[in-house]
Amino acid sequence: NTSTRDAGFAAPTASVLTGPMNRKMPTIYFVLPCYNEAEGLEHTAEVLLAKYHSLVNTGEISKASRILFVDDGSKDATWSIIRKLHESDETVFGGVKLSHNRGHQNALLAGLMTALAQGCDAAISMDADLQDDVNAVDEFIRNFKNGDEVVYGVRSARKKDTWFKRNTAEAFYKVFEWMGAETVPDHADYRLMSREALDALSEYHEVNLFLRGIVPTLGYQTSKVYYERGEREAGESKYPLKKMISFAIQGITSFSTKPLSFVTGAGIISILVAVAMFIYVLVSLGFGHAIAGWGSMMISVWLIGGLIMVSLGIVGEYVGKIYMESKHRPRYRIETTL
Ligand code: UDP
Ligand code: MG
């Protein structure tokens, strides 16, 4: 029940504590970050509990498995519901309460690192709104038993998402790949990670966390499981447009420095244009034409000014990241653990 600091900085030695990974009857931790999910949490718990029991009863997973909710500094009754669930069955429900809202990625990491520290064989991360089909879990576990260290849940259909969300997401993944970063298209954070993979993840100390980009770089034997993404069961999306855009920028600038080379390229082009204009001016002077200079002058001033500002903005984006990383702040702080 004591405060725990960001586990990433004090890598737990789970493997030392609990011996080798058990792939026969693994201890699975279901990790669900929750931010203001009070409305639908009880339903989510019910659905997961049924899944949990069916897996335990058929001997697919060990009784030591847990459903772990991470309260990401919610302002509603989320934590009291988690506490109630924990009291209703301590052998199934666990909870981690962050002291402050740190965002989906950090909350998820807090949950995964807790699962690792508790000695899980694998952790499955999913959203608290159950948009991702819980039944895919069976195949996740099957693949884990066959030796995969990471199993990605991939959305085969996004019929239930709005047209806007579908298309912006698709555009984002295209840009992300084009920028030279690795991702699994149509995979969000619904995935299974073995203890081995979690151990590897614990060594990533970046503050600007973008798990979808990090996990593919871990390597290992992986596989994909396709499922249909449904509608949010209750409450509304915690990812409004503004958050989606900042998440996208975060993802790109955390994984690629290509925008910097674009700026350099644009700068070179702009210099070439200036040289061409200079030659044009000289030539037309030679022919004795008067130059109506105002237009071209204003255009170039604005163009160059704009380019400089954009460049500074992009450079600033990276400098800001360096600043954040150099502080080595803990990415979350756990207030209570159940
Ligand atoms: N979430 C969180 N912290 C936040 C925002 C969201 O832990 O600051 C959780 C949220 O409770 C949910 C998951 O992250 O379990 C995904 O969020 P959401 O379903 O709102 O996103 P969407 O599915 O609309 O992209
Ligand atoms: Mg959702």
**pLDDT, position 113:** 95
Contact between 72 and 315 under an 8 Å Cβ cutoff? The reply is no
CB distance 300 to 271 below 8 Å: no
Place of tokens 């099957």: 142
Q: List the one residue out of 82, 27, 44 whose CA is nearest residue 335.
A: 82
Instruction: Answer yes or no: is the C-beta of 223 below 6 A from any ligand 1 atom.
Output: no
- For ligand 1, say whether the CB of 239 is within 6 Å of any of its atoms: yes
Query: d(Cα 118, Cα 116) in Å, to the nearest integer?
Result: 5
Residue 158 is predicted with a pLDDT of 67
- The whole-model pTM stands at 0.79
> What is the C-alpha to C-alpha distance for residues 310 and 48, in angstroms, rounded to an integer?
48
Answer whether 189 contacts ligand 1 (Cβ < 6 A): no
The per-residue pLDDT for 160 is: 67
Strands 66-71 and 28-34: what pairing? Answer: parallel
- Which of the listed residues 75, 126, 239, 250 should we mutate to test ligand 1's pocket, taking the one with most ligand atoms within 8 A of CB? 239
Which amino acid is it at 43? H
- φ/ψ of residue 25, rounded to 5: -130, 80
Nearest protein Cα to ligand 1, atom 23: 237
122 φ/ψ angles, rounded to the nearest 5 degrees = -160, 155
Q: Check residue 321 and give its pLDDT.
A: 81
Q: Atom 25 in ligand 1: which residue has the minimum CA distance?
A: 239
Give the pLDDT score at 15: 47
Mean model confidence pLDDT for the chain: 84
Q: What is the 3-state secondary structure (H, E, C) of 150-204?
A: EEEEEEEECCCCCHHHHHHHHHHHHHHHHCCCCCCCCEEEEEEEEHHHHHHHCCC
123 CA distance to ligand 1 middle (Å) = 18
For residue 182, the model assigns a pLDDT of 82
Nearest-atom index, ligand 1, CA of 72: 7
| CB of 211 shorter than 6 A to ligand 1 | no
| Residue 161 Cβ < 6 Å to ligand 1 | no
- Which residue has the least CA distance to atom 16 on ligand 1? 127
Q: What is the predicted pLDDT for the residue at 72?
A: 95
What is the predicted pLDDT for the residue at 260?
73
The interface pTM score, or ipTM, of the predicted complex is: 0.95
Four-point Cα dihedral 54, 160, 193, 17, nearest 10: -60
pLDDT of residue 177: 81
Which ligand is nearest the CA of 239, by number? 1
Weakly modelled stretches of the chain, pLDDT under 50? 1-3, 7-16
Q: Which of 47, 104, 172, 186 has the most ligand 1 atoms within 8 A of CB, as the residue to mutate?
A: 104
* Binding site membership of 37 for ligand 1 (Cβ less than 6 Å): yes
Query: Hey, whose CA ends up nearest to atom 6 of ligand 1?
Result: 104
CA–CA dist 120, 28 (Å, integer): 6
pLDDT of 291: 63
Please give the DSSP secondary-structure letter assigned to residue 238: S
pLDDT given at position 8: 45
Distance 194 CA to ligand 1 centre (A): 23
Helix (H, G, I), strand (E, B) or coil at 105: helix
Q: Is 227 in the pocket of ligand 1 (CB under 6 A)?
A: no
The helix-helix angle for 258-286 and 293-326 (nearest 10°) equals 160
Does residue 183 line the site of ligand 1, with CB under 6 A?
no
